[in-house]
Amino acid sequence: MEVEKTRGLNSIFSFSPRKVERTDTFNAVFLVPTGIGAEIGGHAGDATPAARVIATACDTLVTHPNVVNASDLNEMPENALYVEGSSITQLLMGTAGLQRVRANRVLVLIDAHETEVFVNDTVNAVSAARATYGFDCVKVVKLDPPLRMTSCFTDSGRAAGEIEGLYRVCTVLDEHDGAFDAVAIASVVDVPDEYHKEYFRRDGKMVNPWGGVEAMLTHSLSLLYGLPTAHSPMLESQAVADFDLGLVEPRLAAEAVSFTFLQCMLKGLHRSPRIVSHPEALGEAGIFTASDVSCLIIPDKCVGLPTLAALEQGIPVIAVRENDNLMQNDLEALPWAKGQLHVVENYWEAVGVMSSLKAGIVPGTLRRPLDVTTVETRTFASATINDV
């Protein structure tokens, strides 16, 4: 497949070291990777309370849809920037920056669903956003035949999937080039019917089967077009919509009560920052870059490009043990600079470490016993006339 518009296309592995760290503000990146069964943030926007508390300890919080998307709810903090995951990777790798916007023109793509009520519900959700918070929808485009997304699990238990018909999405985006600033996609993600009931009846112990393939789609489009992109699933059939889920585990409740799952991403994309990748533009005033990142907060055991980029950029990393997940990496085995990695028990403690870093206080000095002060004697031979 050839895509003519590749203005946002950089290798995800490109790296540009930051020259300085700007310290006039304190800014955090908060990540909970999709599809890894995270105890906090692996369900339906259930990392939002953590995000809101973390946001109180920094000037700007950069986070991604998986943290705050909760179907019809999006309670991200006022000082948060809603950024697609691959764009956050580019930010930390030093190859992209973020520019705040007042609002985005959003192009909405949806499946031409065989059940018309689901199409109508989705369009009504867009209309509700327009009527309540002035959402700017360029238009809604129905894809016929629809985009086909199929969920699966890897051998390690992580959520993944396959995407067919991506060229149809790219064709629509190319045809509307210059008319929109962000892309919202609502489409069916095919999963076995039994997954729906199993997901809700296992009390949050089943990895969300939809998130992995959704991330694959948005990563691809964000990299190709350099634009904010988000996805929400559409219900597969009326039979699925009619499932009696009963009372569900609280972390899953936002999904249990929604029919469109759309409003969270519309609210996020409404003011999602512009992705800036031109090398000369990265130095312009007002562009948020890797030099502005003061710390990265992740679940423990998670190693990916954001973690490795932070390691190389000298960005402090705070890893939270309580946010258990399927990953099995030993973060302490990486070659961190002294005091760069902080492994904490929970997000309360993470906020304490952030506050210490912001105040210029070594976090360990708040604990007891206090480490012994290092003293080293450097002995020199007796001075000679040639040493003077």
Q: What does the pLDDT average to over 106-120?
A: 96
Q: Which two tokens stand for residue 27?
A: 């800014």
Give Cβ neighbours of residue 85 (< 8 Å, ≥ 6 apart).
31, 33, 34, 64, 65, 66, 215, 218, 219
What pLDDT, on the 0 to 100 scale, is given for residue 5?
Answer: 44
Of the listed ranges 68-77, 190-199, 278-287, the one predicted with least confidence: 190-199
Going by pLDDT thresholds of 50, 70 and 90, the confidence category of residue 95 is: very high
* Nearest Cα to Cα of residue 213 among 262, 254, 166: 166
In degrees and rounded to multiples of 5, residue 255 shows phi and psi of -75, -35
Q: What is the 3-state secondary structure (H, E, C) of 216-262?
A: HHHHHHHHHHCCCEEEEEECCCHHHHCCCCCCCCHHHHHHHCCCCCC
Q: What does the pLDDT average to over 137-163?
A: 95
Report whether the peptide linkage leading into residue 369 is cis, meaning its omega lies within 30 degrees of zero.
yes
* Nearest Cα to Cα of residue 63 among 18, 100, 24, 33: 33
What percentage of residues in the chain have a pLDDT greater than 70? Answer: 96
What pLDDT, on the 0 to 100 scale, is given for residue 2?
Answer: 40
Instruction: With a cut of 80, say whether residue 289 has pLDDT above it.
Output: yes
Give Cβ neighbours of residue 98 (< 8 Å, ≥ 6 apart).
62, 81, 83, 87, 91, 273, 274, 275, 276, 287, 288, 289
* Three-class DSSP category at 139: strand
More confident residue, 382 or 89: 89
| Burial tier of 225 (Cβ tally within 10 Å: 0-12, 13-18, 19+) | buried
Q: Which two tokens stand for residue 366?
A: 């708040």
Could you read off the pLDDT of 33-59 as tens digits, one per residue? 999 999 999 999 999 999 999 999 999
What pLDDT, on the 0 to 100 scale, is given for residue 201?
Answer: 85
Strands 317-320 and 295-299: parallel
Q: How far, in Å, CA of 92 to CA of 89, rounded?
A: 5
* Nearest Cα to Cα of residue 346 among 50, 105, 146: 50
Q: How far, in Å, CA of 237 to CA of 239, rounded?
A: 5
Q: What does the pLDDT average to over 284-294?
A: 98
Give the residue carrying structure tokens 């520019």: 99
Q: How far, in Å, CA of 96 to CA of 351, rounded?
A: 27
* Three-class DSSP category at 123: helix
Q: Max alpha carbon distance in the chain (Å)? A: 95
What pLDDT, on the 0 to 100 scale, is given for residue 387?
Answer: 63
More confident residue, 244 or 370: 370
Could you read off the pLDDT of 238-272 as tens digits, one per residue? 988 888 889 999 999 999 999 999 999 999 999 99
Instruction: With a cut of 70, say whether residue 235 has pLDDT above it.
Output: yes
Instruction: With a cut of 70, say whether residue 354 has pLDDT above it.
Output: yes
More confident residue, 84 or 197: 84
Q: How far, in Å, CA of 316 to CA of 303, rounded?
A: 14
What pLDDT, on the 0 to 100 scale, is given for residue 3?
Answer: 36
Could you read off the pLDDT of 155-200 as tens digits, one per residue? 999 999 999 999 999 999 999 999 999 999 999 999 987 887 788 8
Instruction: With a cut of 90, say whether residue 11 has pLDDT above it.
Output: no
Q: Which two tokens stand for residue 244?
A: 């009696």
Could you read off the pLDDT of 303-324 as tens digits, one per residue? 999 999 999 999 999 999 999 9
